[in-house]
Structure 1
Amino acid sequence: MHYRVVTLVNQCRRLIRDEFGARLSLTDPDLRESLGAYAERSASGELKRLMARINEEAGEPEHKPETDAAPDTAARPPRRMYRGQPLPEPAPPPAAGPDDGSTSDKTVIYRGRRVR
């Protein structure tokens, strides 16, 4: 829930507690339905107005624009980062040769710097 909706819900809970003596919990999964039921039974116009605002605020679907990724960027793995700086691209593995036992030419990155 948004902060505005939470403040409206808390105002409704306060009015319901004053009028009906019922305490509603914010963690109740059916809180919105309970608030609506109490708002229908209430003689308070303020509670009905608050419930209408809650329905306006919370009833709108969260719309986040989706961007279509280009096909070539979807296949590429994300860039590796270290402390906000991009790491260099790893070198492709060398082809297997007759003296494949040496590991000294492997690049090692320690604390963001190339050691070997």
Structure 2
Amino acid sequence: MLHEVIPQFNERRFIFRIFNTEWPDLALKQRTHQVTMALHEALPKEFPAAAKMIDAIALRLRQQKENERYYPFMFLVEYLERYGQHHLEEVSRKAISFKTKEAAPQRAASA
């Protein structure tokens, strides 16, 4: 799915960057960080352009019915947190967007 969003996405490099020899010994937070670092290497270095792709990735995950509380969204949130420090207003909007879209189905189910 990343190759549909990121121009010139090198899937093989991405996978090798994540699943290196250290992977089996990493805890969940360390694995999330490793995926985030690999994603950072694949995305544009300019945060606004990368953030648009993060939005597109999140949209694709939602279309695949991924629950936003699960792993694929963890590394997207970490990416925004880690690399969006100089773009806090934009990061805040995206974080609110993630939470709002997550909460909407819960509110509908409880109504």
Q: Same fold (TM over 0.5)?
A: no
Structure 1 or 2: more strand by fraction: 1
TM-score (norm: length of structure 1) = 0.30
TM-score (norm: length of structure 2) = 0.30
Pick 1 or 2: higher relative contact order, CA cutoff 8 A, min separation 6: 2
Structure 1 or 2: more helix by fraction: 2
The higher radius of gyration belongs to 1
